[in-house]
Amino acid sequence: MSADLRAFALGLPKAELHLHLEGTLEPEMMFELAERNRIELPYASLEDARAAYDFRDLQSFLDLYYAGCAVLIEEEDFYDLTWAYLVRAARENICHVEPFFDPQTHTDRGILFGTVITGILRALEDAEDRFGITYKLIMSFLRDRPSSSALQTLERARLYGHRVAAVGLDSAEVGHPPEDFAEVFETARDRGYRIVAHAGEEGPPRYIKGALDVLGAERIDHGVRCLEDPALVQRLARDRVPLTVCPLSNVRLHVVETMSEHPLRRLMDAGLVVTINSDDPAYFGGYLTDNYVEAAGALGLTRTDLAALAEASFGASFLDDDAKEARIAEVRQYAADDKT
């Protein structure tokens, strides 16, 4: 991979559509917040924490990801977490973000929904003012907890109206099919939320169909296992259902063993709408630009491919059509002016 390609990817205007705010908690901030909130961490040092980030699968990651959340207590903690991500986003020319947060991870520990969302929204507003980064916030339900808990979370969000733009579904996938959340998502659709869902990361292609048919998902998070079902691939291509693909995440969680085996290029070649995202960058060894660059290096993607992926990231977003067009024009201008 050339330094030039990194410079190109770094400056490329991009949207990030699959990013868990809790997954941006760097070990440094985990230690800082642990001290501030007088919480005991299971790690002796930063190196100790990083050494623990050697995952076998999704569940072994989720165990540490949820444990790390214990340091997030005050509104200020959620603000600092979100702000640190947005400062990085600004440096990488990420100009639109649609981040997830997992309210149940916090409300189940006795933290108020309002504490969590107010901290996050304040940081998003400040980043819009300061850096011009636009946003749509996505509230994600934990699929390994009862659907009654998801419904309760939906009720709590009512007070915040359309400041929550969309709802999603994440956490341990296998054994927790989308159908379990039919009622929750029907209610969410009735209340005007946009719909996304993780599906086909570790789970089978039928979970992707369930997310589309039962939940009404407009975008599939991950979705890489669709390739096992050619009819599903055709459907996703025909209906232009975007996939938010996370290359480094897939390697670190052993969805694929190496980046050169990653299906990103095959998904693009099959005519699917594909975007690149970082998922949980503090845990998976790279932020958004790293995902562009590492995928490009291993799969032979060109600048034209990367620009097309950046265009797709705005096209697949929940921005209105005028805003999408304006951002896509910026990508085209950037590629045309490229001097890197």
Nearest distance in Å: CB 203, ligand HPA? 10
Instruction: For helices 27-36 and 75-91, give the axis angle rounded to 10 degrees.
Output: 160
Which residues, 208 to 237, sit near ligand HPA by CB under 6 A?
Answer: none
Which one of ligand HPA, Zn ion, none is in contact with 80 (Cβ closer than 5 to 8 A by kind)? none
Output phi, psi for 95, to 5 deg. -105, -5
Contacts of 256 (CB under 8 A, 6+ apart): 224, 250, 262, 263
Distances (CA, A) of 219 to 10, 216, 317: 25, 9, 9
Annotated catalytic residue: which of 16, 26, 98, 201?
201
First to last CA, the chain: 14
Nearest distance in Å: CB 58, ligand HPA? 6
For residues 8 and 101, which CB has a smaller minimum distance to ligand HPA in the complex? 101
Which one of Zn ion, ligand HPA, none is in contact with 153 (Cβ closer than 5 to 8 A by kind)? none
Which one of Zn ion, ligand HPA, none is in contact with 283 (Cβ closer than 5 to 8 A by kind)? none
Q: Binding of ligand HPA at residue 58 (CB under 6 A)?
A: yes
Choose which of 280, 290, 294, 311 interacts with ligand HPA (CB under 6 A): 280
Specify whether the CB–CB gap between 200 and 246 falls below 8 A. no
For residues 75 and 170, which CB has a smaller minimum distance to ligand HPA in the complex? 170
Which one of Zn ion, ligand HPA, none is in contact with 275 (Cβ closer than 5 to 8 A by kind)? none
For residues 115 and 171, which CB has a smaller minimum distance to ligand HPA in the complex? 171
| Alpha carbons 179 and 337: distance in angstroms, whole number | 48
Nearest distance in Å: CB 328, ligand HPA? 27
Q: Binding of ligand HPA at residue 105 (CB under 6 A)?
A: no
Choose which of 82, 115, 171, 244 interacts with ligand HPA (CB under 6 A): 171
For residues 23 and 247, which CB has a smaller minimum distance to ligand HPA in the complex? 23
For residues 246 and 328, which CB has a smaller minimum distance to Zn ion in the complex? 246
Cα-based angle 284, 304, 15 (whole degrees, multiple of 5): 45
Which residues, 119 to 158, sit near ligand HPA by CB under 6 A?
Answer: none
Specify whether the CB–CB gap between 5 and 296 falls below 8 A. yes
Pattern 173-202, binding to ligand HPA, x per CB under 6 A?
A: -------------------------x--x-
Q: Binding of ligand HPA at residue 23 (CB under 6 A)?
A: yes
Choose which of 22, 202, 279, 290 interacts with Zn ion (CB under 5 A): 279
- The yes-or-no answer on residue 16 being catalytic is no
Q: Tell which residue, 198, 197, 267, has the closest CA to residue 227.
A: 267
Nearest distance in Å: CB 287, ligand HPA? 15
Binding residues for ligand HPA, how many (CB under 6 A)?
A: 11
Residues forming contacts to ligand HPA in the complex (CB under 6 A) are 20, 23, 58, 65, 170-171, 198, 201, 249, 279-280
Residues involved in catalysis? 201
